[in-house]
């Protein structure tokens, strides 16, 4: 298999070699179940609790507030369904935004069909949620607000601390999907004013199949997974010890490298965007110009379609993602771009690039050399793009 | 996801472009859907002498429009009207189920172009 220039780190990331090394013993000779009472189990249990503490420290949380799950989707499902269920005697109104990941939107819709009411707060043209809109949506029967920390498609970073403060003032439980920010932005659950927070291992160079849900002490959440007594009887299932060790190691490495890596990726990303704007007419940024993840570049290309761009780039060994309908698997393009007021035809012609560890200046150069040709080719083929190509 | 035939047509599209002073023009789809084709045809003695396509759309959209032009050139108008979405998809070795709707556009585009030609020439004696 040939090496591709991978620019889709928001979709997933490779496991860091140091993470794999840390995980290995727990896949081999240290295979114990942490709830068993003999040495093999006790050793696994010790390592797991160390991992829990390590993760908690990096989030400004207490160890017992960290609960391991199978990933971001489970954490999101648990937060929404678990909190809604636990507090249903207080009310059945939920607030979220129009640009959340499907792992939040789908559970919300699921609850809507079961007698809950959901208010979906809109975003502006850059993808920002206005805290005042959230405040305005709060009712006496509101029991949960869930707003993502940063959007996975356009990278816009939401004002979580402000929204959290508003939620706290109103006595409403506040959850954030931080799947795209943990490991990229320094975070502290106190500073963020959150009661619950989701994270996922494979977005930060950890393994797939592991994540966590931070739940502030005294916040009530009904379990999603019933069975054994793991995670203080809140999330049943034999612990994925290798995954847990991997997650902790990945977060440790990401935190250590965070300052340097974010500057590096931002530099590459900004050079890429500047270079594209010089070389290709009729393209525009989707997202906030500054309040945006350092590695994310989502832009629309007039007159052509997203999947076709992905295929052409793949032919040139470059891997990226798109907001077109063909890639969402439905007839609608990205709900995030549409929520930002981007017309459907532009949403269909949008590309998302998310840089990461493996990307270098050479990758940027290669993309800048290759992509204009892709655009010309597809614009020649397009029945709607009429302007002369640069 | 795509067959070799689809990727071949995507990489090397046949008959891409516009016929100047076309005898018929068919346009289907729209940019709002992310899928649009313009087919232009040249007709000589009731046969498709030339067919060209322009497409805004995914891999399947490009491949099906390219394939339909290849299937249509040289055929009589009646034969071309018989080209179906299914036959286009079959000629490409099949399409993933979620992409079948893309194949609809290609055959429809060709039929629209022929319809346009017929509308322009209605009232003329039929050629033998």
pLDDT in tens, A203-216: 999 999 999 999 99
What strand order describes the sheet that includes A321-322? A283-285, A296-301, A350-354, A321-322
**Domain of residue B47, CATH code:** 3.90.1010.10
Q: Yes or no: say if A183 and A250 are a contact pair by the CB < 8 Å rule.
A: yes
Residue B102 has pLDDT above 80, yes or no: no
ipTM of the complex, rounded to two decimals: 0.91
The Cα A337–Cα A354 span in angstroms is: 16
* Residue A390 pLDDT: 37
Q: What is the pLDDT of residues A214-267, one digit of tens each?
A: 999 999 999 999 999 999 999 999 999 999 999 999 999 999 999 999 999 999
The Cα B33–Cα B26 span in angstroms is: 17
At A357, phi and psi to the nearest 5?
Answer: -55, -40
Catalytic residues of B: 33, 102
Contact B54 A381 (CB under 8 A): yes
* Chain B residue with Cα closest to A325: B34
- Alpha carbon distances (Å) from A141 to A85, A91, B125: 14, 4, 76
Choice between A81 and B100, residue whose per-residue pLDDT is larger: A81
Query: What's chain B's average pLDDT?
Result: 91
Fold (topology level) of A17-253: 3.40.640
Q: Yes or no: say if A27 and A242 are a contact pair by the CB < 8 Å rule.
A: yes
Averaged pLDDT for residues A72-90:
98
Residue B105 has pLDDT above 90, yes or no: no
Residue B32 has pLDDT above 90, yes or no: no
A chain contacts of residue B10, beta-carbon cutoff 8 Å: 308, 311
Among A residues 43-72, those touching chain B with beta carbons less than 8 Å apart: none
Question: What does DSSP say about strands A173-177 and A142-146: parallel, antiparallel, or unpaired?
Answer: parallel
Choice between A389 and A14, residue whose per-residue pLDDT is larger: A14
Tell me whether residue B125 is in a domain: no
Residue B128 has pLDDT above 70, yes or no: no
The Cα B123–Cα A109 span in angstroms is: 58
Give the count of domains, chain B. Answer: 1
The dihedral built from the CA positions of residue A94, A99, A103 and A105, taken in this order, carries a sign that is positive
**Structural domain of B109:** 4-120
Tell me whether residue B111 is in a domain: yes
* Residue A170 pLDDT: 98
Fold (topology level) of A5-11+258-381: 3.90.1150
**Mapping DSSP to helix (H, G, I), strand (E, B) and coil, where does residue A261 land?**
helix
Catalytic residues of A: 326
* Chain B residue with Cα closest to A344: B32
At A294, phi and psi to the nearest 5?
Answer: -65, -20
* Res. A4 pLDDT band, cuts 50 70 90: confident
CATH 3.90.1150.10 domain locations along chain A: 5-11+258-381
| Alpha carbon of residue B71 to chain centroid | 8
* Residue A389 pLDDT: 39
Averaged pLDDT for residues A179-202:
97
Tell me whether residue B46 is in a domain: yes
Contact B16 A384 (CB under 8 A): no
* Residue A55 pLDDT: 98
* Res. A60 pLDDT band, cuts 50 70 90: very high
* This prediction's pTM: 0.94
Tell me whether residue B72 is in a domain: yes
- Alpha carbon distances (Å) from A153 to A57, A103, A211, A353, A378: 28, 14, 20, 9, 23
B chain contacts of residue A303, beta-carbon cutoff 8 Å: 56
B chain contacts of residue A384, beta-carbon cutoff 8 Å: 31, 36, 56
Query: If we measure between CA atoms, which residue out of B26, B32, B121, B124 comes closest to residue B80?
Result: B26
Tell me whether residue B54 is in a domain: yes
| Alpha carbon of residue B44 to chain centroid | 17
Residue B5 has pLDDT above 50, yes or no: yes
């Amino acid at each position: 298999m040939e090496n591709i220039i991978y620019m889709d780190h928001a979709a997933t990331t490779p496991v860091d070699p140091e993470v794999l090394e840390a995980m290995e013993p727990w896949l081999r000779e240290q295979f114990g179940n942490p709830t068993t009472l003999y040495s093999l189990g006790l050793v696994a249990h010790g390592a797991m609790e160390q991992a829990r503490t390590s993760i908690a420290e990096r989030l400004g949380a207490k160890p017992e507030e960290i609960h391991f799950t199978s990933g971001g989707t489970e954490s999101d499902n648990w937060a929404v369904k678990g909190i809604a269920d636990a507090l249903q005697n207080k009310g059945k109104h939920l607030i979220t935004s129009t640009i959340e990941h499907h792992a939040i939107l789908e559970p919300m819709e699921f609850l809507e069909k079961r007698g809950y009411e959901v208010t979906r707060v809109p975003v502006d043209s850059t993808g920002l949620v206005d805290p005042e809109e959230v405040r305005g949506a709060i009712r006496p029967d509101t029991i949960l607000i869930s707003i993502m920390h940063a959007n996975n498609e356009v990278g816009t970073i939401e004002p979580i601390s402000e929204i959290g403060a508003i939620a706290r003032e109103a006595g409403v439980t506040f959850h954030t999907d931080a799947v795209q920010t943990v490991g990229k932005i320094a975070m502290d659950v106190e500073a963020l004013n959150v009661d619950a927070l989701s994270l996922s291992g494979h977005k930060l160079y950890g393994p797939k199949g592991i994540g966590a849900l931070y739940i502030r002490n005294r916040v009530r959440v009904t379990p999603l997974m019933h069975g054994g007594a793991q995670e203080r009887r809140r999330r049943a299932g034999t612990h994925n010890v290798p995954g847990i060790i991997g997650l902790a190691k990945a977060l440790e490495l990401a935190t250590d490298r965070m300052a340097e890596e974010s500057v590096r990726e931002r530099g590459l990303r900004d050079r890429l965007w500047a270079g594209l704007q010089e070389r290709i007419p009729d393209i525009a940024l989707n997202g906030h110009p500054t309040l945006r993840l350092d590695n994310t570049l989502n832009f629309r290309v007039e007159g052509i379609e997203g999947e076709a761009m992905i295929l052409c780039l793949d032919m040139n060994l470059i891997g990226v993602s798109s907001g077109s309908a063909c890639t969402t698997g439905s007839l609608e393009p990205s709900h995030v771009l549409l929520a930002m007021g981007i017309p459907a035809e532009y949403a269909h012609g949008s590309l998302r690039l998310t840089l990461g560890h493996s990307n270098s200046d050479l990758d940027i150069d290669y993309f800048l050399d290759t992509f204009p040709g892709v655009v010309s080719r597809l614009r020649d083929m397009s029945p709607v793009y009429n302007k002369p190509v640069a | 996801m795509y067959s070799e035939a689809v990727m071949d047509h995507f990489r090397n599209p046949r008959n891409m472009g516009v016929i100047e002073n076309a005898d018929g023009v068919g346009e289907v789809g729209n940019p709002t859907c992310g899928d649009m084709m313009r087919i232009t045809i040249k007709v000589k003695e009731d046969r498709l002498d030339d067919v060209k396509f322009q497409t805004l759309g995914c891999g399947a959209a490009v491949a099906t429009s390219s394939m339909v032009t290849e299937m249509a050139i040289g055929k009589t108008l009646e034969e071309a009207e018989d080209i179906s979405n299914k036959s286009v998809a079959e000629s490409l070795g099949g399409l993933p189920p979620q992409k079948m709707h893309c194949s609809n556009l290609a055959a429809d585009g060709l039929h629209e172009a022929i319809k346009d030609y017929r509308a322009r020439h209605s009232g003329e004696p039929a050629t033998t």
